[in-house]
Amino acid sequence: MVLEKLSLTKKLRVEEENLACAMGSGSLMVLATPAVVALMENAAAELAQNILGNDELTTVGTMISIEHISPTPIGAEISATAVLTENNGRAFCFDVSASDPCGEIAHGTHTRVSVNAEKFQAKADGKLYG
């Protein structure tokens, strides 16, 4: 039996704040790689949260590896899709990709791990307020 893969797509119109020159990741007026990564991670995080269906649990990103292969100008709409490829208890693995109207602009993989939101936040806060 073949199971249908779960996926989720997020969209973004490239604005000035998404440009490499604005984000400090380059000097050109093109979509910044960190903006592409953020949209991919957002799609994966939302899909994982939908799967968890539990407000006490959330997921945190533990690995992302992408190849940004094509530039996108300001004003273009991009879409990023996360496809769940594996879920081993706490770990969620995704294939991620992004495209603009002319085709694929980035692709890669992303891993997230489920955590208890309150405990994880307390652990992080303890680093400063310990």
Catalytic residues: 33, 41, 68
Strands of the sheet with 103-116, listed across from one edge: 7-13, 77-88, 91-100, 103-116, 57-68
Buried b (16+ CB within 10 A) or exposed e, 18-39: bbbeeeebeeeebbbbebbbbb
Phi–psi pair at 70, nearest 5 degrees: -150, 140
- Euclidean distance between CA atoms 76 and 80, whole angstroms: 13
Q: Determine the residue type at 50.
A: N
Strand partners, 96: 82, 108
